[in-house]
Amino acid sequence: MRLSDKNSKHIVTLVFGLLFSITTQFAPVLAQAQTSNLDALFAELQKPDLQGWKKVQEKILTAWAHSGSDTMDLLLQRGNDALQEGRTEAAIEHFSALIDHAPDFAEGWNARATAFYLAGEYGLSIQDIQQTLALNPRHFGAMAGLGRILEQMERPKQALTIYRHAFAVHPHMPDVIKAIERLEKLVEGTAL
């Protein structure tokens, strides 16, 4: 996907703002992302030789997918179903309705960021990732998604920074581990 100079500059500004916010404030924001149950799951996820990391990850993702409202959870499910069926525009509509009614629900923002990414709308995806991370600074999926976007924008140093943050939160994601290894080789091979 080719970006115009104007769009590219806007995206770069968003990315640098997001990188700054991630590196300077990895502090707890919402109770939803910071419950003691989630704290215990994240502590378990930090174990280097954890064999059952996928189960721990699934428990975290399941907790994040519950807004506390059956109606909002239904909108999230409908959007996810639309994404799985390849109906990206319908998914964006469902997620936008969810965000309108539950703006503090990080998973709504993250889901719409994914839909925007699949639609090729990187700037909009980055904006929603920024909101996701403002609401849930431990959202390793949002960080990994931002890393992919930055790689596609040919910004390996920034992508590597984001992947390292994702790794610090969730050190078992194979795609993130491979990306870090790949980008370390690439970045170390470039002139400073």
Which domains can be identified in the chain, with CATH numbers?
A: 5-188 (1.25.40.10)
- The whole-angstrom separation of Cα 77 and Cα 126 is 22
pLDDT at position 143 is: 98
Q: Give CA separation, 159 vs 6, 25, 135, in Å.
A: 21, 18, 21
pLDDT at position 9 is: 55
Please give the average per-residue pLDDT across 117-137, as a whole number: 97
Contacting residues for 120 by C-beta, under 8 A, at least 6 apart: 1
Predicted confidence band at 81 (pLDDT cuts at 50, 70, 90)?
very high
166-169: list long-range contacts, CB under 8 Å, 24+ apart: 166/140, 169/42, 169/45, 169/138, 169/140, 169/143
Q: What is the mean pLDDT of the chain?
A: 87
Task: List the single range of 22-26, 68-72, 102-106, 121-125 with lowest mean pLDDT.
Answer: 22-26
pLDDT at 65 over 80: yes
Please give the average per-residue pLDDT across 138-162, as a whole number: 97
Please give the average per-residue pLDDT across 159-181, as a whole number: 97
Residue-wise pLDDT tens digits, 3-16: 555 555 555 555 55
Cα-based angle 95, 99, 105 (whole degrees, multiple of 5) = 105
pTM for this model (two decimals): 0.82
The type of residue at 81 is: D
pLDDT at position 29 is: 39
pLDDT at position 24 is: 41
pLDDT at position 188 is: 81
